[in-house]
Structure 1
Amino acid sequence: MYLGFEKRQAEVIVTALVTLTTANMDIVYRDMVTGAHQEIALQQIMAHLDAIRKDMVILEKSEFANLRSENAKMKTELEQIKNRLLEESQKIRADAKLDINLERSRVTDMFTEQEKKLMEVKTEFQKMNADIESEAVDTSKKIDIQVASLKTLLESLKLETIRYLAACVFACLAISLGLYRFWK
């Protein structure tokens, strides 16, 4: 930057000044007039230069004002974008928290339901186990009763067999005695 101007602007101004100076010099050389005319021509040139300086100052100020207004617009837009981003991030956070809470609630409900089912199955299993044990005890008692009745029957059959054998032995003895007496 040259004296607050960009390089391109400074080059244009220098070119304009060179062109003006060259043109004025040509006029001065062509006209070669008196000192008064020279003074008038010099004042005209100075007036032109002052006008150019004023135009340059106005141009600089207007560009600065444009840049300032553009900067203000950009700041406003950035602030709006920032606010929208904050709103969106808060919305996403709230949605995520809601989803997490819903999922946690669903898992808790599912866990509670599974625990309930497990307790029902456990109770049913214990009931079935008690029924099986009761049936086993009943079956065991029936077997014991039947074994006892079979033992009793076996004992009574043994007794009857012994009686029958005793009766057979006594009958054989009686027949033998009878035959013995008969032959004797």
Structure 2
Amino acid sequence: MCFDTHALVLELQNNGFPKEQAEAVVTVIANLTCANMESTYKDMVTKAQQEIMLQQIMAHLDSIRKDMVILEKSEFSNLRMENEKIKIELEHVKQQLADEVKKIRGDTKLDMNLEKSRIMDMFREREKQLMTAKNEFTVLNSDTDRAITETNKKIDTDVASLKTMLESLKLETVRYLAASVFTCLAIALGFYRLW
């Protein structure tokens, strides 16, 4: 036992328990403690058993360690071979990509040069058309200016001839009036003498 049962019985009696009841309580506590200890001891191992188990675990760990080293070496060599394959494939893809880029660059350059040449030809053609239109406009403009000048001259000539005709008509009208006035005067004088 790991505690003094008699001292516990006395302690319980001092606190108001009768002797039989105190002894019954201590007996129950002692039985429970013993059962608990037996259950605990049953699950425990001895030091010798513990040493044997430790040796077995260490042997098993050594075996696992050896297997891991072998596995690691074989896996490492497999990984290295796989890595080399991937490097070769990567170089191959890189070369193909570089070739494609060169091809696309060349095609693009050719297309750009062709487009540039086409645009330059179109620009020259438009420039020729513009020069032709400009020349036609200049000719039409000079023809229009000439026609306007001729029309102005003709109008000036017609206005001058109309002025001349108007002046001559005025002169004739004045002569006619003067002749009419002199004729009326002559007739009036003739009548005046007659009377």
TM-score (norm 2): 0.59
Change (3 A) 1:176 1:14: same
Q: CA RMSD in A?
A: 2.9
- Aligned residue type for 1:77: E
Residue in structure 2 matched with residue 87 of structure 1 by the alignment? 99
Q: Does 1:144 align with 2:156?
A: yes
Residue in structure 2 matched with residue 119 of structure 1 by the alignment? 131
Residue in structure 2 matched with residue 37 of structure 1 by the alignment? none
Q: Residues 52-109 of structure 1, C-alpha deviation per residue, up to 9 Å, x if partnerless?
A: 9xxx59x94x666655544443333222111101100101111221222222223222
For the residues of structure 2 that align with 1:104 and 1:127, how far apart are their CA atoms? 34
Q: Does 1:14 align with 2:63?
A: yes
Report the Cα offset of residue 111 of structure 1: 2.1
Calculate percent identity across the aligned residue pairs: 57
1:138-177 equivalences under 5 Å are: 138-177=150-189
In the alignment, structure 1 segments of 5+ residues that lack a partner are 1-10, 18-51
Higher relative contact order (CA 8 A, sep 6+): 1
- Aligned residue type for 1:132: T
TM-score (norm 1): 0.62
Residue in structure 1 matched with residue 110 of structure 2 by the alignment? 98
SS at match of 1:90: helix
Change (3 A) 1:180 1:64: same
Change (3 A) 1:90 1:146: same
For the residues of structure 2 that align with 1:16 and 1:158, how far apart are their CA atoms? 146
Residue in structure 2 matched with residue 133 of structure 1 by the alignment? 145
Moved over 4 A (4+): 62-69
Residues matched between the structures, number: 135
For the residues of structure 2 that align with 1:178 and 1:110, how far apart are their CA atoms? 98
In the alignment, structure 2 segments of 5+ residues that lack a partner are 1-59
One of 78, 87, 100 as aligned partner of 1:75:
87
